[in-house]
A and B are shown apart, each in its own frame.
Chain A
Amino acid sequence: MLKYLDNFGRYCLLVIRSFSKSPKASIMRELIVRELDNLGIGSLYIVSIISFFMGAVAAIQLAANIDSPLIPMSTVGYGTRETIILEFSPTVIALILAGKVGSNIASEIGTMRVTEQIDALEIMGVNSANYLIFPKIIASLIINPILTVISMILGIYGGYLACTTTGLIDGTTYLYGATMDFKTFHFIYALIKSAVFAFVIASVSAFRGYYVEGGSQEVGKASTKAVVNSSISILLWNFILTRLLLL
C-alpha cells in the first residue's frame, strides 16, 4: 500500500514539475508540433481502421438481434450512433492509444533516462520533466479529441456501409436512426472523456518512463507497466466520469 502511495505522490510531483518553468515559447511550440505529428498523425491509420470495423460490427449485431416487428429497423442506426459516441470512440480508442502511444512515450523517455540524456538536460539547467512531458500532454489533449471525432464519423459510416452492402436495412432507415433524437451533451461527454483519457495516457506513461532504473530490459518493463497502468486508469476514470456526468 505504501508503495502505491509513494508512486502516486511521485506521479503528482512529476506532473506539477512538468507544468512549471517552460523553455522559450518558440521551442515549446516546436516540440508540441512534433508530438502532434508523432502521437496523432501516427495513430490516425489504426484509429480509422478500428473505428470503421467497430461501427460495422456494432450495426450488424444490432440488426441481427432485432427480432420483434414492434422495434423499428431505424433502431440499428440509433443504437450504433449511441454506442459509438458514448463508449466505443472515446473509451475503446483511448485503450488502443494507451497501447500504441503509451508504450511509445514510456520507451522513448525510458531510453533517454538509461542513456543519461535526461541527466544531460538537468545538468544544462533544463527542466527535463517540462521539456519532455509537457509537450506530450498538450499534444495528446489536442489530438485525442480530434481522433475521437474522426472515430465517431468513421464508426457510424462503417455501420452504414455494413447495413447497406449486406442488405440488412436500407441506407435511409439507417441514417434516419443515426440522426434521430441526437443529444449534444452526449457528444460533449465523449469529448470530455477523451481529453481526460489523453491526459492519463500521456502523464502515466511518461511517469513510468521517467523513473526507469537500469537498462533496456527495465525500459521494456516500464513500457508494459505504462500500458497496464494507463488502461486501468482509463477504465476507472470512465466509470467516475460516467457516474458524474450522465447520472
Chain B
Amino acid sequence: MIEIKNLNKVFGDRQVLYDINAVFEPGKCNLIIGQSGSGKTVLMKCLVGLLEPTSGSIIYSGIDFTKASENERKKIRQEIGMVFQGGALFDSMTCEENVAFPLRMFTNWNKQKIADRVKFCLERVNLSHAHKLYPSEISGGMKKRVAIARAIALNPKYLFFDEPNSGLDPQTGIVIDQLIQEITREFNTTTIVNTHDMNSVVEIGDKIIYIRKGYKHWEGDSSSIVKSNNPELIDFVFATKLLKRVQQTF
C-alpha cells in the first residue's frame, strides 16, 4: 500500500501540488488523471523519488519514503517497477538484455535462472519472439510491453505507468490496458497509472484521482466517474462530442 499525506511541491515561487492526500491499495489499478500541466507527472515523480516533495509524506508499506535513509530508499526502489512514456529501454541492449538488467544488478542468480525469468517475463507480455531484437527494431507498443516485462522482472510490489497508451493506436492501447490489469491482479501489485486515456479510465480504473490545477479535485472509481455531476471532471473526461454522447448512454 502507498499512502500520500499532505503532499506539497513548490518549484521556486510556483506551487505545483497542493496538500494531496491519497491511499493506493494493492491488487488495484489506481489512476491519476488530469489535464496537461495539472501536476500529475510531478506527483508521480515525487512518488518514485525522482523529485523531492517540498512537504508531506509518501508512505510505502509503513516506511516514510521522504524521511527514509539511503539504504531504506534503495530497498524500496528495488520493489518499484516503472514503465515510462517512451519505454526508456536501454538502446544499447537487446530486449532480453533489458529485461535481464535488474536481475543481473540486484540478484545473485546464475545465468540459467536469469534466462528462465527473462523468458517468463517476455512470454507474459507475448514477446518471446522479440528477445534478440534491439529497441530501435521494434514498434512503440512492443517497446511498452518490453518495458512492462523489465518492470515485473524483480516481482515488484509497486508498479508505476506514465501515460502507457500515449502514441499508441486504440487497439494496442487496449492490449496494454488489459496487460496492466492482468499483471496487477496476478502479482497483487499496487499499480499507479498516470493517464489521459479515457478508455483506460473506464476499463481499468479501480480507483481514480483527478488532479486539477495542483489540487486533488475528485476521487472515485470507473463506475462513479461516468455518473459524476462534477462539472470540471465531466468537462475533462467527456471532452469530445463523441464522448459526451457516450456519457448520455450511461
* Contacting residues, chain B, for A23 (C-beta < 8 A): 105
Instruction: Out of B48, B49, B88, B102, name the residue touching A117 (CB < 8 Å).
Output: B88
Contact B88 A24 (CB under 8 A): no
* Contacting residues, chain A, for B155 (C-beta < 8 A): none
B-contacting 9-mer, from A3-11, A119-127, A200-208: A119-127
Contact A117 B85 (CB under 8 A): no
Q: Does B106 contact A (CB under 8 A)?
A: yes
A-contacting 9-mer, from B72-80, B115-123, B236-244: B72-80
Contact B91 A122 (CB under 8 A): no
Instruction: Out of B49, B77, B85, B104, name the residue touching A116 (CB < 8 Å).
Output: B85
* Contacting residues, chain A, for B73 (C-beta < 8 A): 125
Question: Nearest Cβ distance between residue B78 and chain A, in whole angstroms?
Answer: 5
Known: A117-B90, A117-B91. A123 touches B50 (CB 8 A): yes
Question: Nearest Cβ distance between residue A132 and chain B, in whole angstroms?
Answer: 11
Contact A126 B88 (CB under 8 A): no
* Contacting residues, chain A, for B90 (C-beta < 8 A): 112, 117, 120
Contact B77 A125 (CB under 8 A): yes
Contact B88 A116 (CB under 8 A): yes
Among B49, B88, B89, B91, max chain A CB count under 10 A is at B88
A126 to B154, CA, bound (A): 14
* Contacting residues, chain A, for B101 (C-beta < 8 A): 124
The number of chain A residues touching the other chain, given as a range, is 10 to 19
Dominant SS among interface residues on chain A: helix
Residue of B nearest to A26 (CB): B104
- Convert A80-123 into 0s and 1s, putting 1 for each residue whose CB lies closer than 8 angstroms to a CB of B: 00000000000000000000000000000001100111011011
* Contacting residues, chain B, for A124 (C-beta < 8 A): 77-78, 80, 101-102, 105-106
A111 to B86, CA, bound (A): 13
A119 to B85, CA, bound (A): 12
A27 to B102, CA, bound (A): 12
Residue of A nearest to B162 (CB): A116
Dominant SS among interface residues on chain B: mixed
Contact B86 A123 (CB under 8 A): no
Contact A123 B48 (CB under 8 A): yes
A112 to B92, CA, bound (A): 10
Residue of B nearest to A118 (CB): B88
- Convert B143-169 into 0s and 1s, putting 1 for each residue whose CB lies closer than 8 angstroms to a CB of A: 000000000000000001000000000
Contact A119 B74 (CB under 8 A): no
* Contacting residues, chain B, for A112 (C-beta < 8 A): 90
In the complex, chain B residues 94-123 whose Cβ is within 8 Å of any chain A Cβ: 101-102, 104-106
Question: Nearest Cβ distance between residue A237 and chain B, in whole angstroms?
Answer: 31
A126 to B105, CA, bound (A): 8
A115 to B147, CA, bound (A): 13
Residue of A nearest to B77 (CB): A125
A116 to B90, CA, bound (A): 9
Contact B77 A123 (CB under 8 A): yes
Question: Nearest Cβ distance between residue B65 and chain A, in whole angstroms?
Answer: 12
- Convert A118-146 into 0s and 1s, putting 1 for each residue whose CB lies closer than 8 angstroms to a CB of B: 01101111100000000000000000000
A117 to B78, CA, bound (A): 16
A115 to B92, CA, bound (A): 13
Instruction: Out of A27, A115, A126, name the residue touching B86 (CB < 8 Å).
Output: A115
- Convert B6-25 into 0s and 1s, putting 1 for each residue whose CB lies closer than 8 angstroms to a CB of A: 00000000000000000000
Question: Nearest Cβ distance between residue B182 and chain A, in whole angstroms?
Answer: 22
Question: Nearest Cβ distance between residue B43 and chain A, in whole angstroms?
Answer: 15
Question: Nearest Cβ distance between residue B162 and chain A, in whole angstroms?
Answer: 9
Known: A124-B77, A124-B78. A119 touches B102 (CB 8 A): no
Q: Does B134 contact A (CB under 8 A)?
A: no
A120 to B83, CA, bound (A): 8
Instruction: Out of B50, B78, B104, B160, name the residue touching A125 (CB < 8 Å).
Output: B78
* Contacting residues, chain B, for A123 (C-beta < 8 A): 48-50, 77, 80, 82, 160
Q: Does B84 contact A (CB under 8 A)?
A: yes
A-B residue pairs in contact (CB < 8 Å), sample of 23? A24-B104, A111-B91, A112-B90, A115-B86, A116-B84, A116-B88, A117-B89, A117-B90, A119-B84, A120-B82, A120-B88, A122-B49, A122-B50, A123-B48, A123-B49, A123-B50, A123-B80, A123-B82, A124-B101, A124-B105, A125-B75, A125-B77, A126-B105
- Seed contacts A23-B105, A27-B104, A123-B80; 16 additional CB < 8 Å A-B pairs: A27-B105, A111-B91, A115-B91, A116-B84, A116-B86, A117-B88, A119-B84, A119-B88, A122-B50, A123-B160, A124-B77, A124-B78, A124-B102, A124-B105, A125-B77, A125-B78
